[in-house]
Amino acid sequence: MIAGPILLTGAGGDIGVSLARILREAFPDATLVGADCNPNAEGATFFDRFVALPRADSPDYLSALRNLVRESAAQVLIPLAEAELARLLEAQAIGLYFESAVMVTANERSLSVGLDKLATAQALQAAGIPSPESGIVGVDQPGDYDVIVKPRCGQGSKGLLQLRRQDFDTQTKARSGDIWQRWLKSRENEFTCGLVRFVGMPTRSLSFRRALKGGLTGSGEVVHDPRIDAVCKEVAETLDLDGAINVQLRMDGGNPTIFEINPRFSSTVGFRHRLGFQDCVWSIVNRLWLASGNYEPPAAGTLIERGEREIIRMPEAIAM
């Protein structure tokens, strides 16, 4: 099906490792080439070849990426890091192809909305999709509620600050330009949702109620909730989604309330793949105009846990 090399960039971390394992299984004849600004990253050993690539903010990044695609004869290119996706978007380089390689990313609107947390809040609000009150530090003042402060762009829990309302003015003097959101405090009701939609494929989503560990999903449970399914479908329609993204939300007053959209493959991609939700494989075969196959959702109550590998525990009623 795919014989030419598959090139993953920003591939040195946990997401790169998960995708390397997935692609090795799905496309055993394909050569896997990884690239990262750190050529000695832990993910390097999972690829047939691993090379250095300048940081996405380097003036040499785009030319180096073009040269790598040509030199490796890559058939498929998958940029993983948000900084890379932002740079490619800025350079108007998002499309069906990058040089001769098929490019696997979400569509431009999904990227432009998801990579900017203020744009995310504004797009959700305009569509009537529940999201926490948000604003810009140094420009907007929150109401009478505690807040989360985080960089306007970036991923994970980096730079995240949880504040009581009375401490906001004194604790955010150095955070001008960052975004604040009303703090959704129901940690036991946090969900991460894989979401895909392509031409010729209806919207599919898979939701985990999760517990965080070190800023990543440490454990979770498959949940089938019509309210979450409906809001994910609304997001796909609002973004005119063509690709695979990740939606993060918490229940707030009984409503699924979205606090972040990650327009890329997420750290739970390995769990989802093992449960039949093959968002990475679907993304590749869709771009190559190949059939993606059917999908049977996993049973509600299936448990996931992050160890050296992804651990899956089926519900007792099914396992017996």
Does 86 have pLDDT greater than 70? Answer: yes
pLDDT at site 152: 94
Same domain, 205 and 313: yes
Q: Is residue 128 part of a domain?
A: no
Q: How many domains is the chain partitioned into structurally?
A: 3
CATH number of the domain bearing residue 292: 3.30.470.20
pLDDT at site 166: 97
Q: Is residue 114 part of a domain?
A: no
Task: Average the pLDDT over 251-276 and give the result.
Answer: 96
Same domain, 250 and 289: yes
What H or E segment, with its residue span, contains residue 162? strand 161-163
pLDDT at site 218: 83
Q: Is residue 158 part of a domain?
A: yes
Asked if residue 81 lies in contact with residue 34, where contact means CB atoms within 8 angstroms, the answer is no
Does 203 have pLDDT greater than 90? Answer: yes
Q: Is residue 115 part of a domain?
A: no
Q: Is the dihedral of CA 110, 116, 117, 121 positive or negative?
A: negative
Same domain, 311 and 193: yes
Give the range of the structural domain holding residue 15, as residue numbers without chain letter. 6-105
Same domain, 216 and 98: no
Same domain, 198 and 305: yes
Q: Is residue 111 part of a domain?
A: no
Q: Is residue 126 part of a domain?
A: no
Same domain, 99 and 149: no
pLDDT at site 320: 46
Buried b (16+ CB within 10 A) or exposed e, 37-61: beeebebbebbeebbebeebeeeeb
pLDDT at site 319: 52
What is the tens place of the pLDDT at every residue in 24-81?
A: 999 999 999 999 999 999 999 999 999 999 999 999 999 999 999 999 999 999 999 9
What is the pTM for the complete model shown? 0.93
- Specify whether the backbone of 118 is left (phi greater than 0), alpha (psi in -120 to 50) or beta: alpha
Same domain, 160 and 223: no
Does 19 have pLDDT greater than 50? Answer: yes
Same domain, 159 and 211: no
Q: Is residue 1 part of a domain?
A: no
Same domain, 199 and 300: yes
Same domain, 315 and 255: yes
Q: Is residue 156 part of a domain?
A: yes
Same domain, 147 and 192: no
Same domain, 176 and 243: no
CATH number of the domain bearing residue 20: 3.40.50.20
